[in-house]
A and B are shown apart, each in its own frame.
Chain A
Amino acid sequence: MKFQIPIGPQHPALKEPISLRMTVEGEIIRDADIRLGYNHRGLEKLAEQKTWIQNIYLTERICGICSHSHTTCYVQGVEKLMELEPPKRGLYIRTLVAELERVHSHLLWLGVAGHEAGFDSFFMYTWRDREIVMDILEIITGNRVHYGINTIGGVRRDLDEQQIKHILDSLSVLRQRSEYYKHLGTNEPSFVARLAGVGYLSREDAIALCAVGPTLRASGVPMDVRKDDPYAVYDEVPFEVCTAETGDVLGRTVVRIKELFQCYNIIEYLLKNLPSGPVAVRAPRRAKPNEVVSRYEAPRGENIHYIKSNGTDKPERLKVRAPTLGNYAATIKMLKNGFIADVPLIFAAIDPCICCAERAVSLVDARTGQEKIIVMNDLKRLSRRLSAGNIRKREAEWPL
């Protein structure tokens, strides 16, 4: 007997609204479908009405986890447009925050994976230790989530000796804890039984379906923007691209844990080789008419911003391609012929950030299957027309 089960738009496994529809036979998934568009915020349109500087804080709000990734990606693009050369110390601090963000994002993901697999102790432990990174970020930038440290031409805050010492001390604690998670995540029998062989994605499929980030690297493709197209100071910093050959959720876990250790090495290197000098240069208010594509390796994968300027102090167009969007096609492939029980794990394994990925709403007519893009004003008009006849309930009745 085949039937469809909906996962989302509202479901306890999903922290953000997205709709996954599974056609299942018993416990086995025969077909899967992803529907987007529940979380559209019109950020790109808004960006066209704000100045270059204001847009830094707008792009920061694309995502709550990789907020630094989006600003850095944007700021790098704008710096190219304005032909600015940020000072070395500024770039080092920018990279430092980026790597700390990667650490907190990966620790968060480990916890989420534990929770989706029903391993709540793992979740509680990783999230407790994630607080250490959050504290470091707060000490450097003053904020825990939206750091607001990037500015066009450098960064806004400098580091002092005391902060560096604190970060290095905390780092040794984190290293120790990560060793423990590495052991637990790859040895605890019931956890590994849930991860191994689940959501398999072959090397060929991963390349053909344009997977990005740890999902791609777990299928054995050593692709990382930090190595392939170095930005900031990644050409000076020694690090390795972490891969796994298994192509399953266990591989994605291993890649992320390996990356954690690479992050610690990078952070240590950056702090020990921090050059002196200013942290930012003055940026002009306008940019010459031009266009640019900026790439950035976010914790979840490759992040792309396309920016077009027209000579004013506002961008003409800003287009954001978040890493999650790049992984959707591969997710469908991974879900097919799996178990219902593995859906949350497989979906969580791409580390989805739905609010990052949602860029436009398209409506599908249920009868004809026609798609059309609709603008906000039309939606408003539609809802007013539909609700015109309704009698408004003045007082809701108390159920007891």
Chain B
Amino acid sequence: MATVKTLIYLVIYPGLLFLFLYSTFVEWYDRKLYARLQNRMGPRHTGRFGLLQPIADFFKLMSKEDIVPDRADRKMFSALPAVGLAIVFTAMLLLPVWNYSLDRPSVISFNGDLIVLLYLLSLPTFIFFLAGWSSTNLFSTIGGARVLTMLFGYEVPLFLAVLSPAVLANSWRLAEIAAFYRQRPALSLVNLLGFVIALICVQAKLERTPFDIPHAETEIVGGTFTEYSGKKLALFRLMMDAEMVVAAGLLATVFLGGFPGGALLGLVNFIIKTLVVIFFLSLIRATTSRIRVDQVVSFAWKYLAPLAILQLLIVILVKGLIS
């Protein structure tokens, strides 16, 4: 029974199949929302309300010609999209959706899985950098350099913002953090500032406006993805959508109380809470303009990092008060 359960966990929910379908849905949701905020219609042709548009785009890209530049490192260039996708799909397995028990840590829910998840979410950034670097294209190289420059800006505030709820909950385990805030919902309000900071940092991590600097089309064409086409580009796009789901899931777990209620109710919880987070991400995307890479770094260190430390201080004070 346990083997079947694990198999379902890996392949169907929340593993491969669910994540693939849900990330295409999330792309549709994001595109539709972005379009409506800009007074456009958004996708509406393929499927009902255009729901199948991202899947159609994915399969169309898969069937396109796949070109590897002559001067690129062929092995690395081809391996990166698959490796990146594998990393993001692995990260998804660590979210406490179902099939875990609070008392008994297991391989998918253990003390310290928060750190592992953050680590797995940092790796795609390096994948993007390597993708840009191994393409040897001038625009890709600049894009790759921008990816890393931005990383130095938002990574520390993100870690601080996500760790402060963990400090208050006195646990490094996602399932336990979520359970803690479910029991004392009022305490999640303490982390409001951290939630805002984490939202902004996740927006930067996902490279969406105002942080879409590494692939700013009006400046450096396709940026890191200039040389990617066909299957590899399709995998990269899927990877970015899946990364959005995982990042939204992480924020929902840490700040919004997780996904209680077993497999079915947990699924409903997961969908509602991630869509709320993604709604905010789309809102930021629609209402801002792209800033410069130096402005990202100074903004992150001048405002985000001090505010994240302030959040940590608040959490420590509150922790002292309630104990």
A118 contacts across to B, CB distance below 8 A: 209-210, 212, 216, 218, 289-290
Asked if B286 is at the interface (CB within 8 A of a chain A CB), the reply is yes
| Contact (Cβ within 8 A) B286 A193 | no
Q: Does B221 lie within 8 Å of A12, measured CB to CB? A: yes
Closest residue of B by beta carbon distance from A6:
B138
Interface hits, A1-43 → B, CB 8 Å: 3, 5-6, 11-13, 27
Q: Does A128 contact B (CB under 8 A)?
A: yes
Q: Taking the nearest CB of chain A, how far is it from the CB of B304, in angstroms?
A: 14
Partner of A190, one of B37, B139, B217, B288: B288
Q: A5-B142, A128-B39 are in contact. Are A27 and B293 (CB under 8 A)?
A: yes
CB pair A119 B292 closer than 8 Å: no
Judged by a CB distance under 8 angstroms, whether B73 is at the interface is: no
For A124, the chain B residues whose CB sits under 8 A away are: 38-40
Known: A27-B294, A118-B289. A341 touches B216 (CB 8 A): yes
Asked if A371 is at the interface (CB within 8 A of a chain B CB), the reply is no
Interface size class of A (residues with CB under 8 A): 20 to 34
Q: Is A245 an interface residue (CB 8 A)?
A: no
Interface digits, B151-181 against A, CB 8 Å rule (1 contact, 0 not)?
Answer: 0000000000000000000000000000000
Task: Flag the segment in A92-100, A109-117, A217-225 that touches B.
Answer: A109-117
Interface size class of B (residues with CB under 8 A): 20 to 34
B289, B291, B294: which contacts A114 (Cβ < 8 A)?
B289
Complex Cα gap A342–B283 (Å): 25
B47 to chain A, nearest CB (A): 24
Q: Could you tell me if B292 and A190 are in contact, using CB atoms closer than 8 angstroms?
A: no
The tally of CB-CB contacts under 8 A between chains A and B is: 79
Which residues of A366-400 are within 8 A (CB) of B? 399-400
Closest chain B residue, CB of each to CB of A343: B219
Q: Contact partner of A400 among B37, B63, B209, B213, CB < 8 A?
A: B63
Least CB distance, A112 to chain B, in whole angstroms: 10
A190→B217 CA distance, assembly (Å): 18
- Whether B289 lies near A117 (C-beta < 8 A) is yes
Contacting pair B289 A13 (CB below 8 A): no
Who on chain B is nearest to A115 by CB?
A: B218
Choose from B39, B65, B219, B289 the contact partner of A340 (Cβ within 8 Å).
Answer: B219
Q: How far, in Å, is A21 (CB) from chain B's closest CB?
A: 12
Closest-by-CB residue of B relative to A7 is B219
In the complex the two chains form, what is the Cα distance from A117 to B219 in whole Å? 9
Listed in ascending order, the chain A residues whose CB lies under 8 Å from chain B are: 3, 5-6, 11-13, 27, 114-122, 124-125, 128, 188, 190-191, 193-194, 339-344, 399-400
